[in-house]
Amino acid sequence: MKNILVLCTGNSCRSQMAHGYLEKLQNGLANIYSAGIETHGLNPNAVAIMAEDGIDISKHGSNHVNEYIDVDFDFIITVCDHADENCPYIPSKNAKRFHHNFLDPSKFEGTAEEKHDVFLKVRNDIKEYCQKFILRELHD
């Protein structure tokens, strides 16, 4: 079974959403992990927007990448430029690395409705990315 790490700065929002979609959509083809180069705790808006699409990430923890130092990853996906630029060395022998910089919805300032719309857009972008990743990398 393949091992996939989704890496972000704080493992609170974007990496958690990608973790949720990859876990839900890949049908047992891989073990999914998410981590940050820091830990910021789970973002409640990320939990809520994922629940709207039927995915419960409320039990996920905010993990530091060093917690997975002994896991041999097949794929490492960075979902923000900061993590891509500051990612520590991960000693996975043949990990294929992917990067996509998703907008950070937690940084958006605005009304509750505007924040919801930004989280929704980012969630949908992440979902589409995960669907394409699964088709391209996990299906022969």
Can you give the pLDDT at residue 82?
81
- Report how far residue 98's alpha carbon sits from residue 100's, in angstroms, rounded to the nearest whole number: 7
Can you give the pLDDT at residue 81?
84
pLDDT tens per residue, range 66-118? 999 899 999 999 998 887 777 666 767 789 999 999 999 999 999 999 999 99
Can you give the pLDDT at residue 93?
76
Provide the annotated active-site residues. Answer: 8, 80, 87
> Of 122, 101, 118, 98, which Cα lies nearest the Cα of 109?
118
Backbone angles phi, psi at 33, to 5 degrees: -130, 150
> Of 101, 64, 104, which Cα lies nearest the Cα of 81?
101
Can you give the pLDDT at residue 91?
67
Q: Which residue segment(s) compose the domain that 128 sits in?
A: 2-138
Helix (H) or strand (E) holding 23: helix 14-25
pTM higher than the cut 0.85: yes
Helix (H) or strand (E) holding 31: strand 30-36
How many separate domains does the chain show?
1
What single-letter amino acid sits at 93? K
- Report how far residue 123's alpha carbon sits from residue 8's, in angstroms, rounded to the nearest whole number: 15
pLDDT over 70, % of the chain = 96
Q: What is the mean pLDDT of residues 26-35?
A: 95
Can you give the pLDDT at residue 1?
92
The confidence band for 139, taking pLDDT boundaries of 50, 70 and 90, is confident
- Report how far residue 56's alpha carbon sits from residue 15's, in angstroms, rounded to the nearest whole number: 14
CATH of the domain at 41: 3.40.50.2300
pLDDT over 90, % of the chain = 79
pLDDT tens per residue, range 106-119? 999 999 999 999 99
